[in-house]
Amino acid sequence: MPADTYLSTILATHRARAAADDRSLDELLARAEAQPPTRPFLGALAAPAGEALAVIAEVKRRSPSKGVIAAGLDPAQVAADYAAGGAACLSVLTDEEFFGGSAADLAAARAACALPVLRKDFTVGDADVCDARLMGADAVLLIVAALSDAELLGLVTLAHELSLDALVEVHDEAELERALGAGAEMVGVNQRDLTTFAVDPGRAERLGGRIPPEVVAVAESGITGPDDARRLAGVGYQAVLVGESLVRAADRRAAVRDLTGQRIGARHAPRDAYRARG
């Protein structure tokens, strides 16, 4: 797939699937509301400056840009290894067509440990949020670039109504302001451009200072080892979400352990960021 069609192709597929979904939303909501309590995803990451960096360790089989990452991956074993290595939370890919994931992967990973779990997928509608709750997720990913302002606000609101935390993902200053405007309590800065899938290692540093101190800041993508984790912790990120380097590691427990323990630096949002929020 050409790089410039990654995001548009994936979103078109998910929106077409959502448009063809004839399930009753009222029934989905009722079932989602009846699920057992969630595990505290946001709470597992909300460490103040001076404490240790949290790791969200990802269960990921493949990607559109890299192809197969781990053939024959056992999500339960991977999750157990991550937990033993000191991960704070899990992220599990559930997109099947482009990433080889599934709801079954999420269920297996969550059952293998006590960690809160993020459903990592391309959420485009209310049914997706309900499905996240029904498959056992504790948090849902909302990608600002994939949603209108109205959709973003509605999905953040619905997630909270269903006791799901929302990781709101941004790629630039404008998207960050949209995320904050929608009431995001947890913002993920993705260093990977979702149009080209290229990694910009400076993106998280540029945006980190613009995230208000009361919002949990998560750095995503392009994190390959302790040096990256230390750099991101030093500019105030409370957590890093790491997938490929952990999945490929010969010793996943040790790889997670190597990322943890970095001390979180102070993070202060510039005054103009607050003025922009009104």
Predicted confidence (pLDDT) per residue in 121-175, tens digit: 999 999 999 999 999 999 999 999 999 999 999 999 999 999 999 999 999 999 9
Domains of the chain plus CATH, in order, are 3-33+53-277 (3.20.20.70)
Count of helices and strands (H, E) across the chain = 13, 10
Residue whose token pair is 């995803």? 41
Please tell me which residue in 63, 169, 175, 244 is annotated as part of the active site: 169
- Contact by Cβ (8 Å): 115, 39: yes
Taking CA 240 as the corner, what is the angle to CA 238 and CA 244, rounded to the nearest 5 degrees? 175
Could you tell me what percent of the chain has a pLDDT over 90?
78
In the structure encoding, which two tokens stand for residue 214, read together? Answer: 């009361």
51 catalytically annotated: no
Q: Tell me the one-letter amino acid at 173.
A: E
In this structure, what DSSP letter does residue 52 have?
Answer: B
What does the pLDDT read at residue 5?
60
How far, in Å, CA of 111 to CA of 109, rounded? 6
Q: What is the pLDDT of residues 201-257, one digit of tens each?
A: 788 888 998 999 999 999 998 899 999 999 999 999 999 999 999 999 999 999 999
Rounded Cα–Cα distance for residues 142 and 161 (Å): 15
Across the range 168-185, mean pLDDT stands at 96
Q: Is 60 a catalytic residue?
A: yes
Q: Which of 91, 175, 205, 220 is catalytic?
A: 220
Which of 58, 175, 205, 244 does the annotation list as catalytic? 58
User: Which residue out of 60, 63, 91, 244 is catalytically annotated?
Assistant: 60
From 63, 120, 175, 244, the catalytic residue: 120
Residue 195 has a pLDDT of: 66
Has 151 been annotated as catalytic? no
Please identify which of the residues 63, 91, 175, 190 carries the catalytic annotation.
Answer: 190
Q: Determine which helix (DSSP H) or strand (DSSP E) holds 206, and give its type and residue range.
A: helix 203-208
**Residue 27: active-site member:** no
Q: What is the mean pLDDT of residues 36-54?
A: 94
Residue 66 bears catalytic tag: no
